[in-house]
Amino acid sequence: MKTKIKICGLSTEATIDAAIEAGADYIGLVHFPKSPRHVSLERATEIRQYAGQRIKTVLLLVNASPESTGQVIADVKPDVVQFHGSETPEWLKLVQDNSGLEIWKALGVKDKPTLAKSSRYVGAADRLLFDAPAQALPGGTGTSFDWSLLAGHDHQVDWGLAGGLDPDNVADALNATQAPLVDVSSGVESAPGVKDVDRIVAFCQAVRDYDASK
C-alpha cells in the first residue's frame, strides 16, 4: 500500500514544485499568525492557485473564529481544512456540512486515555492526525511522541502520523505504526519556517523506499 505524504508549512513556489516532483500527496498551508510558517490570507490564496490541481492543498487553522474560518475557506478554496487547536467535534461537523470539504483534526497524544478520546470525532472528521502534545505552539515543533501508544489501537477514523518526523526516522515511524499517511513540517527545514528542497526530496524518497520494502 502506498503511504500518503503531506508536506506542511509551505510558503514558496519552489518548495511546492519540489513537493509535487518528489511525489507528495498533499501540501499544507498554515494560516496561524503565531507560527513561523504562517502565510497571510492573500499569500495562501496565491499559493493555492499556483498549486492548482497538481496536488491537494490542506489549509491549517488553529482556533479560528467562525467568521475567519468562513472567509479563508471561501478565498483559498482548499481541498482539505485541518484544525489544529481545541476545536470541538460539533464545530468540525458544522464546517464539514457547510463547506463540503474534507476535514482533518490534529490530536496531541500523551497516553492511551488521550488516544481513546479520538472516538469523539467519528462522523465529524475525515482524518485524525496523531501528533505530539501541544507546547508553546500546537504543532511544527519537531517533537515526536511514543509511537508504541498506537499499537493495537482500534482506528475508527482514517488517520495519519505527525510530530517530529524527518527523512532519517520516518521509516522507523512507519515500521512502528504502519501509518497510512505521514505529515512532516520542521523535519524538512533548514531553519524555522524555511523549507529545504533537498530534505523534502529525501523525506519523500525515504517513504517510497519503505513502501518498496513491504
Q: Which three cell numbers stand for residue 190?
A: 533548514
Give the integer Cα–Cα distance in Å for 156 and 96: 18
Is 139 a residue whose pLDDT tops 50? Answer: no
pLDDT tens, position by position, 65-88: 999 999 999 999 999 999 999 999
Residues 16-42, mean pLDDT to the nearest whole number: 96
| Contact status, residue 93 vs residue 149, Cβ threshold 8 Å | no
Domain topology for 4-213: TIM Barrel (3.20.20)
- Grade residue 116 by pLDDT with cuts at 50, 70 and 90: confident
Instruction: Work out whether the CA dihedral 152, 155, 161, 164 comes out positive or negative.
Output: negative
Residue 16: strand, helix, or coil: helix
Residues 81-96, mean pLDDT to the nearest whole number: 96
